Amino acid sequence: MRFKIDELDVYFPYPAVYKEQYEYMSELKKALDARGSVILEMPTGTGKTVSLLSLIMSYLQAYPDSFKKLIYCTRTVPQMEKTLSEVHFIFESQFKEEGRKPKLLAVGLSAKKNLCIHPKVTAHSAIREKTEAECKKLIAPWIRQAYKGHFREDEHLCGFYEGFTDRQENLFFEEGVYSLADLKRYGEEQNLCPYFLARHMIAQAHVVVYSYSYILDPDINTQIPREQEADCIVVFDEAHNIDDQCVEAYKIEINRPLLDTAFRNIDILKQKMDEMKEVDKQRLEDEYNKLLKGMTDKGIITEDMRIQDAASSMIKDLSKDVIPGAIRQSEAFVSSLRRFVGFVKAMISIREVKIMSPTSFLDEMNKMIHLEQNTLKFFIERLNILMNTLEVADTHELMALSTVAKFGNYCALHTKGFTIIVEPYDDSSPDFYDPWLTFACNDASIGWKEVLKKFKVCILTSGTMSPMEMYTKILDWQPMFMKSFDITLRNCISPLFITRGHDHGELSSQFATRNDNEVMRNYGRLLTEFSSITPDGIICFFPSYRYMEDVVLQWNDLGVLDSVLKHKLVFIESKDVAETSLSLASFKKACENGRGAVFLSVARGKVAEGIDFDEHYGRCVIMFGVPFQYTKSRVLLAKLDYLRDTFQIKESDYLIFDAMRQCAQCVGRVIRKKNDYGLMVFADKRYAHADKREKLPKWIRTFIETHNIGINSEQALYKARNFFKDMGEDYKIDRNAILYLDDLRELEKQKQNTKPMEVEEDGVQDGK
């Protein structure tokens, strides 16, 4: 249907709108009108995505000169596909209503491993870096030059890439929505590379959907044409972990095997240089000119750099510096690389923990090996140019050296808000010597401010953004406004806060009691009892993989798993993505066949973030413990110290905030639509404290009843039985919670009548 919000015609793909959807779209329009950034918390299961897309797509069509495009960022590929399907649904609905195709082009962009259709490359699609390397072996300029027109061209070149390069200047795209599957199908039909086709389409597209990394990762955030950046709307969906994403984009980990491999990589480079000297000495002598040109072009992406995605947004900043003599010539650069790798290896070869700032690291490096900070700034670009000159196609082979060079580059560029931590062993295995170096970012605002420099309108939205004030602190950012929306539901969720087991023993996953047999036994009995009364699917979340493994082993010894299997099948999330996907498919099959199943998973894992358990897949979710981060982690401790000293955020406040947003994300998996229902069981004595519950989203807190706080397992079972009995009755959504076209027209009339009066010199007239 089509209705108005103020003067804007909004195309919505359904015949009715929920009240909260209308309010959500109204607030979005205010932000777009004012060209400001906002934080919006929209309850899960209320059509947040379709509301957001409907409003912004309508806005882009009504005011084509206001913004160039919508950039919609998701966390996972399934979420990207789901978003593109929503865009397609809105597009088709408007097409039916208008009788003509809307002037809109939408495209999804993902990594090569998700878009490539060449059989040689797809054989390595499990590893992203390997996919990139295999692709480059087919499309590198020197390989194309050697085999283009050769009778063995088909064996050594990618026909899809050749088709794209031959036709890219004349490619025309009709209005429509191109998902990843559409791009691959179109590429096969037209003999075009889907990945480079998607990148080519971005400049013309009105809606672009891709992952967070294309915006936040400093190495690959150059996909949007720079002249369009300021006029884009950027949406971060599921943005409750936006600060973690900003931090992870800069994190680097190095161990001794990686450094040993880096030394071997240097030997490979040296050998290739010696071979080239005998054949083409002039090419190596031109190395400095290539580097100088790359710097002075201020970010213009050359063909070589574009192919390997090595173009960095840092180029334009580095162009202001004088290129150090230590790396101008290839021989000197390789020598500097070797000294740097040796210095890092010597640094981590210690028997005690060492924590330092990048500035201290650079000072010590200068004293020991006489390398200056300015030299490290050019390491990545210099290495990329050298590899291209030496015609290194297998970039995966030199990944270790690239990682170390990237570490040096980041150390030189970021001296504030970062910590270098060297740990000789894991605290859990102090007798096993395995040193690690972690380059950790403590300040999420560093990456976030880079986003704000480029894009004027940024929208953070999720179902679990509470408390929103914390995001303004850790991102050092004041949005135009923040708003959390209520949800109009029957009592279809019932949060139960269980603090004691059947024997009245306390339940908790805290470190002091997590291996207590009585706690394990009470947790196991709780799961067994709920398995016997809950229809279909139960999802259980644990604070960590290790804790889940310990609990499952104990349950096996205590006979808990055998008791649960009498009622439902049991499936477990693993760290292997393929295994977890298979377990999920089997879990859903068991639910569909009426057998029912229990899925054991981990907070912050794949299941907690990207999988929906709607309807019969998730009738109950149990949080075994509070998902606090490992508080002895030195990376976390460094971050907590920084947040306290820089933003005056107490350690306890941040830890509780982080744990409860993860908790809210987990329990929210079971409610995906308004006619859905599910139990939310919080099994830990610490949930009885108000400081935990107050951090839950408003739409969950609304359904918390005082008599459901601090109960034992037996009381919880009684309440659960009554809940499922009530949910078994027929349910129709309250008419007052839905707005039809006539209701929307009436709302607009009321808004017009309540606008403020305009005062003129000769009297008063109604405001327009």
> What is the pLDDT confidence band of residue 72, given thresholds at 50, 70 and 90?
very high
Q: What is the pLDDT of residue 287?
A: 59
Residue 716 resides in a domain: yes
| 382 plus 506 within the same structural domain | no
Task: Count the domains in the chain.
Answer: 3
Instruction: Kindly tell me the burial class for residue 722, based on how many C-beta atoms sit within 10 Å of its own C-beta (0-12, 13-18, 19 or more).
Output: exposed
- C-alpha–C-alpha distance, residues 444 and 135, integer Å: 33
| 474 plus 585 within the same structural domain | no
| 300 plus 409 within the same structural domain | yes
The pTM score is 0.88
| 373 plus 311 within the same structural domain | yes
> What is the pLDDT confidence band of residue 323, given thresholds at 50, 70 and 90?
low
Residue 15 resides in a domain: no
Residue 392: is its pLDDT beyond 80?
yes
- Print the domain residue range for 84: 36-247+446-482
- C-alpha–C-alpha distance, residues 601 and 579, integer Å: 13
For the stretch 136-152, pLDDT in tens is 888 888 888 888 877 67
In Å, how far are 308, 508, 620 from 570, measured between CA atoms?
44, 23, 14
CATH number at residue 470: 3.40.50.300
| 464 plus 506 within the same structural domain | no
Closest to 243 (Cα-Cα) out of 643, 611, 545: 643
Give me the residue label for tokens 């057998």.
Answer: 595
Which range among 72-86, 219-233, 642-656 shows the weakest confidence by mean pLDDT? 219-233
Share of the chain above pLDDT 70, in %: 89
| 705 plus 592 within the same structural domain | yes
3-class secondary structure for 126-149?
CCHHHHHHHHHHHHCHHHHHHHCC
Which range among 58-67, 201-210, 282-291 shows the weakest confidence by mean pLDDT? 282-291
For the stretch 675-733, pLDDT in tens is 788 899 999 999 999 999 999 988 888 889 999 999 999 999 999 999 998 887 776 66
Q: What is the pLDDT of residue 675?
A: 77
Residue 733 resides in a domain: no
Which range among 98-112, 310-324, 388-402, 558-572 shows the weakest confidence by mean pLDDT? 310-324
Residue 429: is its pLDDT beyond 80?
no
For the stretch 261-305, pLDDT in tens is 999 999 999 998 888 876 666 666 665 565 556 544 433 333 333
Q: What is the pLDDT of residue 598?
A: 96
Average pLDDT over residues 26-34: 93
Do the beta carbons of residue 323 and residue 386 sit within 8 Å?
no
Residue 745: is its pLDDT beyond 80?
yes
Give me the residue label for tokens 């000495």.
Answer: 281
Q: How many CB atoms lie under 10 A from the CB of residue 117? A: 17
Residue 708 resides in a domain: yes
For residue 315, what are the contacts with CB-CB under 8 A and spacing of at least 6? 294, 295, 297, 298, 299, 381
Domain boundary among 425, 455, 482: 482
**Amino acid at residue number 410:** Y
Residue 560 resides in a domain: yes
Q: What is the pLDDT of residue 281?
A: 64
Average pLDDT over residues 201-229: 83
- C-alpha–C-alpha distance, residues 336 and 376, integer Å: 9
Mean pLDDT rounded to a whole number for the chain: 86
User: Tokens in use for 311?
Assistant: 């173009």
Q: What is the pLDDT of residue 293?
A: 60
Residue 365: is its pLDDT beyond 90?
yes
| 508 plus 656 within the same structural domain | yes
For the stretch 752-762, pLDDT in tens is 776 654 433 33
For the stretch 503-549, pLDDT in tens is 888 999 988 777 788 999 999 999 999 999 999 999 999 999 999 99
In Å, how far are 27, 312, 497, 628 from 494, measured between CA atoms?
29, 49, 10, 23
Backbone angles phi, psi at 543, to 5 degrees: -65, -30
| 241 plus 257 within the same structural domain | no
| 667 plus 544 within the same structural domain | yes
Identify which has the larger pLDDT, 319 or 554. Answer: 554
For the stretch 324-347, pLDDT in tens is 655 667 888 899 999 999 999 999
For the stretch 469-489, pLDDT in tens is 999 999 999 999 899 888 776
Which DSSP symbol is given to 352?
A: S
User: Tokens in use for 47?
Assistant: 């059509």
Residue 426 resides in a domain: no
Residue 572 resides in a domain: yes
Which range among 77-81, 162-166, 236-240, 317-321 shows the weakest confidence by mean pLDDT? 317-321
Q: What is the pLDDT of residue 757?
A: 46
| 217 plus 343 within the same structural domain | no
Q: What is the pLDDT of residue 225?
A: 67
| 463 plus 375 within the same structural domain | no
